[in-house]
Amino acid sequence: MINSDIVYTLVGLPLLGSALALLSKAFWPGSKNRVLEYAGAFIGLALPWAVLVYTLPDVLDGHVYGGIIGGWSPQVGIQFRFDGLAWLVNLMGFTVAGTAWIYSLGKGPRGAGFTSVFLIQTAALAATSMTADIFNLFVCLEVMGIASYVLVASSEKPGAILASFSYLMVSATAMVFFLIGIFGLYRLTGSLGYQDIASSLAALPDHGGIAGVVSISLIVGAVAIRVAIMPVYGWLPDAHALAPHSISAVLSGVLIKTPLFALSRVILLIPAGAAAAQLMGYAGAVTALAAVIIALSQSDAKRLLAYHSVSQIGYVVTAWGAALHVGPETPQGAALMTAAFLHALFHAMFKGLLFLTIGNLSDSAGERNVYRLKGGAALLRRQGEILPVTALAFMTAALAITAIPPMNGYVSKTALSYALKGSWEYYLLFAAGIGTMASFIKLGKTFFGKPVADSAQGQLQSQNQPHPQGQIQDRSDDLPRKAEGSNGSSGFVLVSQSILALAVAATGIFGPWMYRFVLTMFASGAGENLQYDPRGMKGLSLYSPGGIRNTAIILAAGFLLYVLTRTRPGTRLLKRIRDRQRGFHGLLTSFTLGTLAIALWMYLR
C-alpha cells in the first residue's frame, strides 16, 4: 500500500477552487470576480486530471494508495483507499463535471456562487469514492446531497425549489436511517473502518445476529434511495427534470451511481452482504423495464430523460448485484462488474449529453412538450447555429443509449448481455432495450420531425390534466418559458456538447480497449484474491452475428412499439401511466417495505 498525500488533492483542489470562487464573489466584484472564478474552476476541474494521470501507472500495477488522514488512530481518523475502483469513479466524475460547468457558462445559472457550490459537490463526489470508513461515507454523501439541493434550487423553472425541497426531505430521511445503521454496526463492533467492521462481525456469534442484519439493511436501503432504484426512485424525476440542464447532467450521469460503487467496499466485506447485493440486482432488472415504460409515457422531454436515468441505473445495478453475489474476484463476477461500471461510465457520457442537447433545444424553443416541439434542428439553425452541432450531438447520444454500433452504449450493453446471458434478468433488460428504442424514436422527432401545430394527436397526448395529489406540479412542458441563459447556442454550449459527443463516439470505437482497461482496473484491487488474469482473458466479441441480430430485433420491435403508442388505445394507456399518483408518503412506505425485504432476505439467506 502506498501512503501518499497526492490523492488528497482530488478532494483538496475542488475545495480550493470553491474557496477562490467564493472569495471572488465576496471581495472582488466586476472583471476580477470572473478571473478568480475561472481560475477556481480550472484548479478544481482541470488540475485533478494531472493527479489521475500521475497515479494511473501505480493503480494499473495493482498498488493501492491508502492511509489515515492526519496520522490519527484508526478508531478516530479518516481512512481512505484509492484503488482501481476509486480511479474509475473519479474519471467518470471529472469528465462530466468539467463539461457540465463549461455548458453552464453559456446557459443556465452561472457566477461565482454557482461555481463554488458546484466545486463542493465535485469534491464530495471524489471523497465518497475514496473513503474507507463508514461514518466518513455518511458525511461525504450528506455534503454531496446538500450541494445538490442548492444546485437544483438554482434553476429558474417553476417548481424547482419545491423539487429541491422534496429531494432534501427524501434524502435526509434516508440518511437518518443510514446513520442508525452506522450506530448499530458501531455498537456491535466498536469500529467504523470497513476492514475492522468486517473482522469484528466475522468474530461475533451469528455475525451479529438480527442486530447486524437490521443495521446493514438500513444502510443498503438508504443507499438504494440515493441510487433511485424501484421502488424508492420517486424523488428523481422532479429533481432531474427541474434542475438546470448542467446539473441534470451531473445528477443523472454521476451522482446516482457514486453511492452504489462506494457501497461495494462495505458490502463485499460484510457477511450476508452478497445476499443484499443479489436482491438489489433483482430490483435493478425490474427497474430497467418498469422505468422505461413510464419514460415512454412522458410528454415533458426532460422528465422522459429523467425516467430513462432510472431505467439505465437499473442496468448497472443488475450487473453490480450479480457480480457481488458470485464474487467480483471470479471470472464471471469480473465480467459482470466490468460491464456494470462500463455502462455506468458510458451512461454518464451519453445521458449527460442528452440533457445538455435537449436543454439547449428546449430553452431556444421555449417548449419542452415532445408532442409540440418538432423540427428543432431547423429552429437552432435559424437562431444562428450554423453547424448542426446540437442535433448531431443529440443523434450521437441517442444512438448510444439505444445501443446502435459503433457508439459506446452498444459496447456496454453488449458486455451486459454477454455477462447476464441465460438469466431471467437478461430478458428483462432485452425488453427494456425495446422500450428505450421506442422512446428515442419519439424524442428524436423534437429535432428531426416535421413541425406541426395543434395536431389532433398532439392535442390528445399533451392536454393538461388535473395534477395527482402529492406530486410536484411542473407545467413547463405546457407553458412557454423564458430560456435559462441566452437565446440560441453559445460557444460554451457547443464546446461542451462537442466534447461529450466525441467521447461517446471514441469510447465506442475503442470499445474493446475500454473493456480490457476497466477489467484491468478492477483486477488491480483484487490483490491476493485474484483468480483470473484480465490481460489473458478473451474479450467478448462485440460484432458477433448474435449481437447484430439482437440489435436489429430491438430496432424493429422498438419501431413497432412506437407505432402502437401512437394509436388511440396506446395514447390512452400512456396517459393513464403518466397521471398515476405518487408522493412522499408513497416513497416512505416503499422505503420501509424495501428495507424490511432486504433484512428478511439477508436473514433467510
Prediction pTM value: 0.89
Find the Cα–Cα–Cα–Cα dihedral 512, 514, 519, 522, rounded to 10°: 180
Query: Quick check: 407 and 509 in contact, CB under 8 A?
Result: no
Please list the alpha-helical segments (H only) found in 107-159.
Answer: 112-130, 134-153
Show Cβ contacts of residue 392 under 8 Å, excluding neighbours closer than 6 positions: 501
- Find the helix or strand (DSSP H, E) in which 192 lies: none
Give pLDDT tens digits for 397-412: 999 999 999 999 999 9
User: What is the per-residue pLDDT for 536?
Assistant: 40
Lookup result for grid cell 463539461 = 99
Gap between the Cα atoms of 203 and 174, Å rounded = 29
Residues with Cβ < 8 Å from 512, sequence gap 6 or more?
411, 539, 542
DSSP 207: G
Q: How many other CB atoms are there within 10 angstroms of residue 98's CB atom?
A: 20
Q: Where are the domains of the chain?
A: 6-450+490-527+539-604
237 contact partners, CB below 8 Å, separation of at least 6: 303, 306, 307, 310
List of long-range contacts for 185-192, beta carbons under 8 Å, 24+ apart: 185/134, 185/212, 185/215, 185/216, 185/219, 186/135, 187/211, 188/212, 188/215, 190/75, 191/74, 191/75, 192/75, 192/133, 192/134, 192/135, 192/136
pLDDT tens column, 190-233: 888 888 888 888 888 777 788 888 888 899 989 998 998 888 88
Buried b (16+ CB within 10 A) or exposed e, 146-156: bbbbbbbbbbe
> C-alpha distances in angstroms, 600 versus 181, 275, 501, 503, 604?
16, 10, 45, 43, 6
Identify whether the C-beta of residue 262 lies closer than 8 Å to the C-beta of residue 313. no
- Using a CB cutoff of 8 Å and minimum separation of 24, what contacts does 185-188 make? 185/134, 185/212, 185/215, 185/216, 185/219, 186/135, 187/211, 188/212, 188/215
At 81 the three-state DSSP class reads: strand
Query: Could you tell me the mean pLDDT of each successive run of 10 residues in the chain, 605 residues long?
Result: 83 94 77 82 96 93 83 76 92 95 86 92 94 92 92 80 83 90 90 85 80 88 89 84 90 91 85 86 94 93 94 95 88 89 95 94 88 85 83 95 94 92 93 96 86 44 39 40 48 92 95 90 59 49 83 95 92 87 73 83 78
Angle, CA 579 vertex, CA 578 and CA 582 arms, to 5°? 100
